Structure formats: C-alpha cells, structure tokens
Amino acid sequence: MGAFSIWHWLIVLVVVLLIFGTKKLRNIGGDLGGAVKGFKDGMKDDSPKIGEKTDQDGRTIDAEVKDKQNS
C-alpha cells in the first residue's frame, strides 16, 4: 500500500470530470490563472514597501521611530 498508481489518478480524474463537467473545470482553471497573474503583477509593483516613506520626488526617506513611554 504505497503511493497511488497512475490508474488510481485516472479514476479520480474521470470521477471529477463526471461530477463537475469540463466547462466548469475550465472556468475554475481560468479564474485561478487570472488570480495568480494578478498576484504576480502586484508583487512586481514599484510602490514603496510597508513602513517606507517617500518624499515628493519618489526617494525613500530613512527615519527611525522612537517609542515614548508615559510614566
């Protein structure tokens, strides 16, 4: 009883196709591909990272934040 053989995976594929149908699976695949593409485009964005501040020229301002403790 090791890993599933190719025959097990083919039977699972046939059952999934019978339950959902090819059109619905194609739509799900397209939606998933669009989401991945949108995520990759968002990661390539040139906007500053969280916690970085920029001035009006688009340069990064290097600053430190010091905590104030109220006594």
pTM, two decimals, is 0.43
**Span 37-59, mean pLDDT?**
69
Query: Rounded to the nearest 5 degrees, what angle is found at the Cα of 36, between the Cα atoms of 60 and 16?
Result: 160
Mean pLDDT of 22-48: 85
Estimate to the nearest angstrom the gap between the alpha carbon of 56 and the chain centroid.
Answer: 31
Q: What is the pLDDT of residue 30?
A: 92
Tell me the pLDDT of the chain averaged across its residues. Answer: 78
State the Cα–Cα distance between residues 49 and 5, nearest whole angstrom: 46
Residue 25, pLDDT score? 85
- What share of the chain has pLDDT > 70, as a percent? 61
